[in-house]
Amino acid sequence: MNNYELAVVVSAKIEDDARAAVLDKVKALIARFNGNITEVIDGGKKKLAYEIEKQSEGYYYFIRFDADSTTPNEIEQRIRIMENVIRYLCIRLGDEE
Side chain identity, residue 66: D
pLDDT at 1: 86
**Segment 16-52, tens digit of pLDDT:** 999 999 999 999 999 999 999 999 999 999 999 999 9
User: In whole angstroms, how far apart are CA 81 and each of 25, 43, 45, 54?
Assistant: 12, 22, 22, 18
72-90: pLDDT as tens digits: 999 999 999 999 999 999 9
How many Cα atoms sit within 13 Å of 17 on the Cβ side? 0
- CA 51/CA 48 separation, integer angstroms: 7
Round the average pLDDT of the chain to a whole number and report it: 92
The structural domains of the chain, with segments of one domain joined by +, span 1-40+77-87
Residue 97 reports pLDDT greater than 60: no
Whole-prediction pTM value?
0.90
Round to whole Å and give the CA distance between 87 and 37. 20
Q: Which residues are bridge partners to 9 per DSSP? A: 60, 87
